[in-house]
Amino acid sequence: MLGFSQSSASSQTSRGIKKKWVPEEGATLVSCMVDLHNVGTFNADMRFKAGYLNELERMLEKVLPHAMLKAKPNLESRIRTLKKSLKVAINSTIAVSVIMTNLLPHMQKIKPLGNMFKQLQIF
């Protein structure tokens, strides 16, 4: 019963009741989305077709019956948050990659300068 009380955690805010997602729910959501994509019924041009949230709600209800996750607002909001987090992670990785690619030709010049600065340090 402990797992069920955690999965239905929520808090009161000025805008109403806010759902707090537990890691188990997030992992199950991603797993169900992958399953939904692999089935192919709701695929359309690198996206899901309309109505996929309702199907996702039914899939999650089978796996997490006491979570009471609804297509709108719970699933829609969480998927939006996951997309934002993924964009930040991808953009950060790309930025580091571009910076390192631009620095590699200059790395040979930087290493001798670093050694020179170490020798010049006065304590």
Span 37-43, average pLDDT: 87
Q: Which residues contact 17 (CB under 8 A, 6 or more apart)?
A: 10, 11
Is 0.85 surpassed by the pTM of this model?
no
pLDDT value of residue 108: 53
Q: Which domain holds residue 45?
A: 2-120
The count of domains in the chain is: 1
Rounded to 10°, the helix 23-39/76-103 angle is 90
What radius of gyration do the chain's Cα atoms show?
Answer: 23
pLDDT in tens, 78-113: 999 888 888 877 777 777 777 666 666 655 555 555
